[in-house]
Amino acid sequence: MTLTERLDYYRKLTEQALEQALTSKNEAYYPSVFKAVRYSALSGGKRLRPALTMEFCRVCGGTPEQALPFAAALEMIHTYSLIHDDLPCMDDDDLRRGRPTNHKVFGEATAVLAGDALLNRAFETVLSPQNTRGLSAETVLRAASCLARASGMDGMIGGQILDMESEGRQISQETLMLLQRHKTGCLMQAAATMGCILAGRGDAATLEAAECYADNLGLAFQIEDDLLDIEGDITKFGKPIGSDAEKGKATFPVLLGIARCRELVRELTDKAVAAAAAFPDHAFLEELAVYLVSRDY
């Protein structure tokens, strides 16, 4: 399979699992929350985190399918964080992936509950015995614990708080790194390490290599994203100020300059590629690291 074929395959598996996890017999009694969660969870997106989980499971000797409940759970957590981030009291965004944000369509109260429901459903999904047949209870527990830590106050939510509190303030490169490593890095790392754990390869050296890959890939992707936010706007609006800067958010180009950012993206990508070499059959992981900062997608 080529890179995009495999990404497509993982995306389809993820979307099928999401469809299945986000339906219920209770929909007859209160349809709105189910409509709201599906609206956001099934609105496209790269499905990068699920792809990492399934691919790390595969290169560690498992099947992508045995990691699927965890892959879908990651995407639910990612989606809930976007719904809550977009709320008027947070980033107050009207558009997400080219469509009106959840609260614009369903109202703020339903959007708050839809976010809560997705976070909760992520844990329901990985803890449901039907979804994890063939895995030992110890394995499921270890992977679920990894997911819970990564998405909580010491992980993603910590990054969201740092992000919110940094708005309109001068922050250092160290703080911005800490912010990004929490806000997006922790979940990326969990995506990779959960894949290894679910394949039965939870030894320290394997997890360290997987974390190193995900950490560098995630940071490279974030810096590239910041660059696009500036350079995309130069082309489009003829002014070097992107939406992040407008919101008073610190970005890597503002702190480090464009040239240093480009260099950093290359360095981080090289580190991710080097970390991938610890795994057999690592062509996809290598190509993915390069592809994500290539702007060709």
- State yes or no: residue 116 binds a second copy (CB under 8 A): yes
**Pick from 97, 54, 48, 93: nearest CA to 75:** 48
Smallest distance, Å, CB 71 to a second copy?
A: 18
Min CB(148)–a second copy separation in Å: 4
Q: Round to whole Å and give the CA distance between 251 and 243.
A: 11
Residue 93 lies near a second copy (rule: CB under 8 A): no
Contact 273, 286 (CB under 8 A): yes
By CB under 8 A, tell whether 32 contacts a second copy: yes
- Shortest gap between Cβ of 75 and a second copy (angstroms)? 16
One symbol per residue from 172 to 211: x for binding a second copy (CB under 8 A), - otherwise; what is it? ------x---------------------------------
Per-residue binder mask for a second copy (CB under 8 A), 53-82, x = binder:
---------------------------x--
Q: Which is nearer to a second copy, 128 or 243 (CB)?
A: 128
Q: Does 20 bind a second copy (CB under 8 A)?
A: no
Output 151 or 269, the one with its CB closest to a second copy. 151
- Nearer to a second copy (CB atom), residue 90 or residue 264: 90
**Minimum distance, C-beta of residue 60 to a second copy, in the bound complex (Å):** 20
What is the DSSP secondary-structure string of the chain? Answer: --HHHHHHHHHHHHHHHHHHHT--GGGGT-HHHHHHHHHHHTS----HHHHHHHHHHHHTTS-GGGGHHHHHHHHHHHHHHHHHHHSTTTT--SEETTEE-HHHHH-HHHHHHHHHHHHHHHHHHHH-GGGGTTS-HHHHHHHHHHHHHHHSTTTHHHHHHHHHHHTTS---HHHHHHHHIIIIIHHHHHHHHHHHHHTT---HHHHHHHHHHHHHHHHHHHHHHHHHHHHHHHHHHSSS--HHHHTT---HHHHH-HHHHHHHHHHHHHHHHHHHTTSSS-HHHHHHHHHTTS---
Q: Which is nearer to a second copy, 87 or 274 (CB)?
A: 87
Q: By CB under 8 A, is residue 281 in contact with a second copy?
A: no
Q: What is the end-to-end Cα distance of the chain in Å, rounded?
A: 18
109 or 228: whose CB is closer to a second copy?
A: 109
Residue 294 touches a second copy, criterion: CB under 8 A: no
Residue among 65, 105, 123, 200 that touches a second copy (CB under 8 A): 123
* Minimum distance, C-beta of residue 114 to a second copy, in the bound complex (Å): 9
Please name which of 183, 149, 189, 150 lies closest in space to residue 53, comparing C-alpha atoms: 189
Q: Is 120 in the site for a second copy (CB under 8 A)?
A: yes
Report if residue 129 touches a second copy, rule: CB under 8 A. Answer: yes
Residues that bind a second copy (CB under 8 A): 24, 26, 29-30, 32-34, 37, 80, 84, 87, 89-90, 107-110, 112-113, 115-117, 119-121, 123-124, 127-129, 136-138, 140-142, 144-145, 148-149, 151-154, 157-158, 160-162, 164-165, 178
